């Protein structure tokens, strides 16, 4: 075949010509590659230097141009901060809040047009791929708003002398290692991320996109995908886990899947706070302002949605011997103490199971109240000063099923700027069997509800950090209870028969209203909050102060009944003492008769012996 192909002269000429052309092409490519590397190096270094006003410098060890493949490979890239320039800007109050250093062993630029770059000053690349980049970022709050800079040119204006425009189709950062140092708080906070991938699409820097607000960092979209992130809070009390986090600048949305916040071992030995355990299937933050957060660490979003999960709260069982004010546990006070500028229009909770538990040392057991299948809406969650000037009231509407039974609707209002931490709450609990709350009342109050039907429970309170004032109405039928006592030997709770009888006969009001058609009893509550009482305990105590007199267990009745029971016990003791004395006297008389009989027989026996 080959001999037949080269049989004719024109075939030989064609083969030789093609071979010479290919050889020349490879020779040209080789020399262009040698000639291109220093040109590329100079272009890139000049663009970075001009684009960052000399704050950053870039360097790399080598660059390869594969002209036939349209590909450039750059090795050992280092992006560094010029500390002298940074310190000078910091002294002039012009330093940025964020600094970044970067090391990449290998960078691949695919489908480029080097001649267009050299002759037309246009950088056009289809794809840039960085494998395993090592990124170090630091945040230091040098200013709270954009500073006035003498050089207010856009990035395109700064590079326009070297390049007409820059276009990159896709940018891939695979298996990113990121270390983030945050100096904005009282102590240094360090975060380290692994298993993160970042993709940016359609980067374009030209005269039109320099003012295009629909783009982020000149890209149509930047997508970050993080997997298996774990960490510990700065106070060392909790560890947190994120199975997956995904963020898109185009949708301005952050999605978190599989979030958990778990107390560290020995939690109660480290703090006097209540313990929280949070598990959530998903968290979604919408219309998140990424650029503002990146600059100033302020959070601005339209909504935050928590879906399918649980929140478990357990009160600290260790007694608070000091009078430390627990006002920080109040939601609106805690929000103001975060120290971060936050503005979230709406927070939504969907299908969250909430529980609150305490340990009673008297019973030796723990009790829990639950709020199942909770849905909530919170409005105007903010610490932003300008937002607070317009509206300083946060509102919440929460719907749940108390003890997985009666429907509970609760409404809260929080004054976000009041010095006395003013707030209010009201709500209504629907019909339910009162016995379902025994898992809480038995260990915590040593009371077991043996019968009772709740028809309706209404409450309405105005409160602040010092006191709560409000009204409670509870409608019910056929309430009966057993009073319990702890059995330390068998670790159980036993029925106190006498106390239960007294409670049902002399204390409890079994119905409200007492008779059909009567006006139901209602009770006003005035509660002075102890400074060491946290938020949930304060709410619970105010409700109890209304519930107790409603069912007849007010303080006056309790004392009177206790006195009656004490008198009954005293009478019982006196009766037993008299009975014991009677028994003792009978025994003494019987003993004396026996003794006399024995003495008589002894004398008779003595007389017989004398004879």
Angstrom distance (rounded) from CA 196 to CA 184: 24
The percent of residues above 70 in pLDDT, for the chain, comes to: 75
Residue 370 Cα to chain centre, angstroms: 19
Q: Which residues does 153 contact at the CB level (< 8 Å), separation at least 6?
A: none
179, 192 contact by CB (below 8 A): yes
pLDDT at 21: 40
Q: Model confidence over 498-532: pLDDT tens digits?
A: 555 555 554 577 888 888 888 888 889 999 999 88
Question: In this predicted model, what pLDDT tens digit does every residue of 277-303 receive, in sequence order?
Answer: 999 999 999 999 988 887 778 899 999
Mean pLDDT of the chain: 80
Under 8 Å between Cβ of 532 and 323: yes
Measured CA to CA, the distance from residue 473 to residue 457 in angstroms comes to 6
Handedness of CA 323, 327, 328, 329 (dihedral sign): positive
Name the residue ranges covered by the structural domains of the chain. Answer: 14-232, 256-553
**pLDDT value at position 24?**
43
**Mean pLDDT within 143-152:** 59
Tell me which residue of 283, 259, 286 sits closest to 344, measured CA to CA: 286
Cα–Cα distance, 349 to 255 (Å, whole number): 15
Band of the pLDDT at 272, cuts 50, 70, 90?
Answer: confident
CA angle 277, 282, 288 (to 5 degrees): 110
Of the listed ranges 14-23, 479-488, 577-586, the one predicted with least confidence? 14-23
What pLDDT, in 10s, does the model give residues 311-331?
999 988 876 556 788 898 899
pLDDT per position as a tens digit, 234-253: 788 999 999 999 999 999 99
3-state secondary structure of 130: strand
For 160, 593, 595, 599, the CA distances from 605, given in Å and listed in that order, are 143, 18, 15, 10
| Whole-structure pTM value | 0.74
In the DSSP assignment, the letter for residue 239 is E
- For the chain, the C-alpha Rg in angstroms (whole number) is 40
Q: How far apart are CA 103 and CA 18, in angstroms?
A: 43
In this predicted structure, what is the pLDDT of residue 556?
Answer: 61
For residues 101 and 82, what is the distance between their CA atoms, to the nearest angstrom?
A: 10
- CB of 94 closer than 8 Å to CB of 55: no
């Amino acid at each position: 075949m080959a001999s037949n192909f080269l049989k004719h002269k024109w075939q030989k000429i064609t083969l030789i010509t093609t071979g010479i052309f290919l050889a020349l092409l490879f020779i040209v490519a080789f020399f262009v590659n040698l000639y291109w590397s220093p040109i590329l190096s100079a272009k890139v270094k000049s663009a970075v230097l001009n684009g960052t006003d000399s704050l950053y410098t870039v360097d790399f060890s080598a660059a390869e141009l594969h002209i036939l493949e349209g590909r450039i490979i750059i090795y050992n890239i280092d992006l560094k901060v010029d500390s002298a320039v940074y310190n000078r800007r910091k002294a002039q109050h012009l330093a940025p809040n964020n600094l970044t250093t970067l090391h990449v062993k290998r960078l691949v630029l695919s489908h480029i047009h080097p001649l267009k770059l050299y002759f037309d000053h246009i950088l056009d690349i289809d794809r840039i791929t960085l494998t395993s980049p090592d990124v170090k970022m630091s945040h230091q709050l040098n200013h709270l708003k954009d500073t006035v800079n003498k050089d207010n040119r856009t990035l395109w204006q700064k590079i326009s002398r070297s390049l007409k425009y820059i276009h990159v189709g896709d940018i891939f950062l695979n298996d990113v290692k990121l270390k983030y140092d945050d100096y904005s708080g009282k102590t240094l906070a360090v975060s380290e991320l692994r298993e993160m991938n970042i993709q940016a699409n359609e980067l374009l820097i030209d005269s039109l996109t320099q003012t295009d607000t629909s783009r982020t960092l000149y890209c149509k979209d930047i997508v970050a995908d993080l997997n298996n992130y774990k960490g510990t809070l700065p106070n060392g009390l909790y560890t947190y886990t994120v199975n997956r986090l995904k963020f898109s600048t185009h949708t301005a949305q952050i999605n978190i899947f599989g979030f958990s916040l778990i107390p560290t071992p020995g939690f109660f030995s480290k703090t006097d706070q209540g313990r929280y355990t949070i598990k959530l299937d998903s968290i979604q933050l919408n219309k998140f302002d990424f650029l503002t957060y990146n600059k100033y660490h302020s959070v601005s979003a339209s909504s935050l949605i928590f879906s399918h999960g649980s929140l478990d709260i357990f009160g600290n069982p260790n007694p608070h011997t000091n009078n430390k004010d627990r006002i920080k546990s109040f939601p609106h006070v805690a929000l103001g103490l975060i120290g971060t500028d936050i503005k979230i229009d709406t927070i939504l909770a969907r299908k969250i199971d909430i529980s609150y538990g305490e340990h009673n040392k008297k019973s030796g057991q723990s009790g829990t109240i639950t709020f199942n299948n909770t849905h909530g809406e919170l409005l105007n969650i903010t610490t932003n000063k300008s937002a607070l000037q317009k509206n300083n009231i946060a509102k919440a509407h929460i719907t749940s099923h108390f003890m997985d039974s009666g429907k509970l609707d609760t409404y809260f209002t929080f004054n976000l700027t009041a010095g006395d931490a003013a707030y209010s709450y009201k709500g209504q609990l629907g019909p339910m069997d009162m016995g379902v709350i025994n898992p809480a009342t038995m260990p915590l109050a040593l009371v077991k509800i043996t019968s009772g039907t709740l028809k309706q429970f209404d409450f309405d309170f105005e409160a602040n950090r010092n006191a709560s004032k409000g009204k409670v109405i509870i409608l019910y039928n056929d309430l009966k209870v057993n009073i319990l006592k702890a059995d330390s030997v068998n670790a159980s709770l036993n029925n106190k028969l006498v106390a239960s009888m007294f409670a049902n006969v002399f204390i409890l009001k079994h119905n409200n209203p007492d008779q059909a058609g009567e006006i139901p009893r209602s009770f006003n509550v005035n509660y002075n909050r102890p400074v060491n009482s946290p938020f949930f305990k304060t709410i619970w105590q105010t409700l109890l102060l209304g519930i107790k007199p409603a069912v007849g267990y007010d303080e006056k009745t309790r004392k009177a009944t206790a006195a009656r029971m004490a008198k009954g016990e005293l009478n019982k003791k006196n009766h037993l003492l008299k009975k014991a004395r009677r028994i003792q006297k009978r025994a003494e008389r019987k003993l004396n008769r026996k003794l006399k009989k024995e003495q008589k027989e002894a004398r008779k026996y003595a007389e017989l012996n004398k004879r």
